[in-house]
Amino acid sequence: MASSRRRRRLRRHHLPLAAWSLAGLLLVRIVLASNHALYEWSMATAYVGLALLGASLLIGPVNVLRGRPNPVSADLRRDIGIWAAVMSLAHVAVGMWVHMPRRFMYWLVQDPGTSRFSPRTDVFGLTNHAGLLAALAVLLLLLTSSDLALRTLGVVRWKGVQRGNYALYLLVVVHGAVFQVLEERELPFVLLFAVMVLPVAVLQCVAFVRRRSIHG
């Protein structure tokens, strides 16, 4: 039974998600066509990761609007989340090599005239703090995206951890929106960012209102 389920998930979920992710990565790189390979990969993993994360958050609202129950754990939602985590962590790994010669400068700045370092409080630093928190949240969600974690934590605690996906998405959106401005992204990428984010926000709000109306 378990092996049959794994084969089904591999065939129906993971292989299509791998193909979709690869196609998305290549498409973003082709559109960018820059001379900076690391920047291309950073952008590609960022947009594909955001799309996958948003898709994982659309399944619940769609079920609500269609009058279908939302199970505690759904294989499709979990598998999309796994690929979103892979792309997000790849973005962190690549992104740390794009802007700064020394990695710690994304989050720290040297105090003038001293050898001490303090947390960055400029816009660039704050959005990177948000990105770091998002990366830690992604790692936690990835480590708990298994039947073993569900059995170990129990339904209530496991569901509480998985609901961190909403806070994660907010951090990712803030991080991404700030970089749209900092890097002065071209209009097509700004529009693509908006097109990926707005449907998730709208459907979450609509589903929330629908649930409230149903349960009084």
Average the pLDDT over 54-78 and give the result.
Answer: 89
204 φ, ψ (degrees, to nearest 5): -60, -45
Contact 25, 49 (CB under 8 A): no
Tell me, what's the pLDDT at 48?
96
Q: Average pLDDT for residues 138-158, to the nearest whole number?
A: 90
- 2 confidence band (pLDDT: 50, 70, 90): low
Q: Check: pTM over 0.85? Answer yes or no.
A: yes
CATH fold, domain 2-215, is Four Helix Bundle (Hemerythrin (Met), subunit A) (1.20.120)
Contact present, 45 and 94 (Cβ < 8 Å)? yes
CA distance 82 to 34: 29
Q: What is the DSSP letter of 23?
A: H
Q: What is the pLDDT of residue 77?
A: 92
Helix axes 37-65, 187-215, angle to 10 degrees: 20
